[in-house]
Structure 1
Amino acid sequence: MLRTDTGELPGDHPYASAATVGDGSRALVVLPGIGDAMFPGTYPPFSGWTLAPYFARYLDDYAVYLLSRPRGLPAGYDADDAVATHRLALEAIADEHEAIDVVGVSMGGLIGQELARRRPDLVDRLVLADSGYRIDEDARPTVRRLEYYAREHDWASLRSALAVAMFSDSRAIAYPLTLQTVGRFVQPRPADPADVWRSLEFALEFDGRDRLAEIERPTLVFGGGRDPIFPPPIARETAALIPDGTVSLAPGAKHAAFHERKVTFDSRVRSFLER
């Protein structure tokens, strides 16, 4: 029997969760990417039921939490701010489960690194999905352009540019066309527009290379072979500098490799978590 829940955890973190009743002694906490800042910020009651099929391969062993960042991020939001609030949320989850494994997607992976380094008591194993110790230098103009769109509240152009960076298939063409036409009238709006550009500034400023050796937890870096934001050299170096780090790359995939190659991602992650 499936049990789902939505609400807010300490640190003002909205969340949705799904678990199989009687199982889920461990928690799998998913920290999302930039797109997390681009929706209203509360999960409707049915969200857990939507979450469950996507993470079905984990529900035999885990209670899965999708943990959003707080709304109303402070100016200059940085790793210290991120750890301060995420720590509170993870402590609340830890009270209910014997251990926590973290999957950090893109920006969520930057936060996940800092949590695993500073609070190894709260992170048993870490997966960095489409993430690394910093964004690639060649990607900085793209991220700056996304920041410009955010400051202009041009959400259709921002989402269109993200789609091009994320997908290697027809979605890289179809999504921008839809977003720039009928999609302009139906796409969700951010609860706090400043959260979007502050999240992008966070990604631009973050560089954890010199701190990777301090991550004590087993870490899997999963990325796309054509990811323009965290390309293979960044992914490989990230894994190499973590004492117990491994890397897995999906050929041909871009910045949404965890989604584009979901079967491969789930297979690699399950093998890593079960080792």
Structure 2
Amino acid sequence: MRVPRPETGQLAGQFPYVRVGDGPKTVLVIPGIGDAMFDGEYGRPGAMGVAVQFRRFLEEYTVYVVSRPRGLPEGTSIRELAQNYAHVLERHVEPASVLGISMGGLIGQELAYERPDLVDRLVVAVAGCRLAAESVRVLRRLRRYGVEGRWTEIRSAFLEAMYTGWRRQLYPRLSRTVGRIRPPAPADPDDFLHSVDAVLEYDATDRLARIEPRTLVIGGDDDPFFPERILRETHDELPDAQLAMFRGARHGAFLERKEAFDDWVRQFLAGEPARARS
């Protein structure tokens, strides 16, 4: 299908966004921690990349990808970020289904807990109720890299965590070599540090049972940050949830298994019966 031209700008003068499609229903996409590593301006290439990524949703949905403000205060919590997105939904979008990816999945859980009136359905993608204990050391190391401005190394580490097979070997190597020509350029380097701190501190295990919107928990069983046991724990404690598990997939399951991922999400948002788990 032809990909429509996306709209870009800043909601309330502080939330960079891309809007694409004109479907009758709305999906709000909350991005992951990598959102803190770009300059906060969706140029034409970035906006078209968003449009292509969600092209299979555009007949049924209007898709908003909404970034967080630049210059996050020290001590910003996932709860405070969820309150920001509640403001976005109330004032600038409308009640919508929410697709939270990685860190965005944490924000989505908190948003659905605090403001179920704004969330039709929730997709928690490559995320769970808390970070796996064994990955805390990894994130702390990446935070230290952020203090030192080692953005190419941070990107390379995330690429290794995301992919499998030849991609896991090739993509980090490319990031460290040809990728040095265009390293990540965060508008405010502290945003990455504060985002890492918010992820490290977040734990929703005591609130899962009170999250009202129907939820899809979807990810890879070999995700180093949110592995199978975390995904299952999250699913099992939610009162109305579905689980989709990709065998052998890591943190980038939403990209590496994109067609199947999109199928799961679209069927879930449409309210169709669950298929067998992947």
What TM-score does the superposition give when structure 1 sets the normalisation length?
A: 0.94
Render the CA deviation track for 1:24-68: whole Å, top value 9, x for unaligned.
222111111111111101112454433222212211111011111
- Report the 3-state secondary structure (helix = DSSP H, G, I; strand = E; otherwise coil) of the residue aligned with 1:121: helix
Partner AA of 1:19 in structure 2? G
The residue correspondences of 1:104-143 to structure 2 (distance < 5 A) are: 104-143=100-139
Partner AA of 1:247 in structure 2? L
Is residue 11–residue 70 contact of structure 1 (8 Å, CA) maintained in 2? Answer: no
Render the CA deviation track for 1:50-89: whole Å, top value 9, x for unaligned.
3222212211111011111110001001033212321211
For residues 217 and 123 of structure 1, what CA distance do their matches in structure 2 show?
7
Change in Cα spacing, 1:102 to 1:73, as seen in structure 2 (3 Å) is same
The residue correspondences of 1:4-15 to structure 2 (distance < 5 A) are: 4-10=6-12, 12-15=14-17
In structure 1, the residue matched to 2:173 is 177
In structure 2, the residue matched to 1:224 is 220
For residues 50 and 131 of structure 1, what CA distance do their matches in structure 2 show?
23
- Report the 3-state secondary structure (helix = DSSP H, G, I; strand = E; otherwise coil) of the residue aligned with 1:170: helix
- Report the 3-state secondary structure (helix = DSSP H, G, I; strand = E; otherwise coil) of the residue aligned with 2:6: strand
Render the CA deviation track for 1:211-232: whole Å, top value 9, x for unaligned.
1111000000001021010001
The alpha-carbon deviation at position 93 of structure 1 amounts to 3.8
Partner AA of 1:9 in structure 2? L
Is residue 129–residue 223 contact of structure 1 (8 Å, CA) maintained in 2? Answer: yes
Matched, 1:19 2:18: no
Stretches of structure 2 lacking an aligned partner (at least 5 in a row): 272-278
In structure 2, the residue matched to 1:272 is 268
The alpha-carbon deviation at position 270 of structure 1 amounts to 1.2
In structure 1, the residue matched to 2:72 is 73
Render the CA deviation track for 1:146-179: whole Å, top value 9, x for unaligned.
1111111101111111111111132222122122
The residue correspondences of 1:142-157 to structure 2 (distance < 5 A) are: 142-157=138-153
For residues 165 and 188 of structure 2, what CA distance do their matches in structure 1 show?
31
| CA-based RMSD | 1.5
For residues 165 and 207 of structure 1, what CA distance do their matches in structure 2 show?
21
In structure 1, the residue matched to 2:184 is 188
In structure 2, the residue matched to 1:204 is 200
Matched, 1:83 2:82: yes
The alpha-carbon deviation at position 104 of structure 1 amounts to 0.4
Is residue 102–residue 125 contact of structure 1 (8 Å, CA) maintained in 2? Answer: yes
Is residue 78–residue 199 contact of structure 2 (8 Å, CA) maintained in 1? Answer: no
Is residue 224–residue 249 contact of structure 1 (8 Å, CA) maintained in 2? Answer: yes
The alpha-carbon deviation at position 10 of structure 1 amounts to 2.6
Alignment match of 2:211 (pick from 210, 215, 219): 215
Is residue 83–residue 111 contact of structure 2 (8 Å, CA) maintained in 1? Answer: no
Matched, 1:62 2:64: no
For residues 134 and 69 of structure 2, what CA distance do their matches in structure 1 show?
29
For residues 80 and 66 of structure 2, what CA distance do their matches in structure 1 show?
16
Partner AA of 1:74 in structure 2? P
The alpha-carbon deviation at position 182 of structure 1 amounts to 2.6
In structure 2, the residue matched to 1:158 is 154
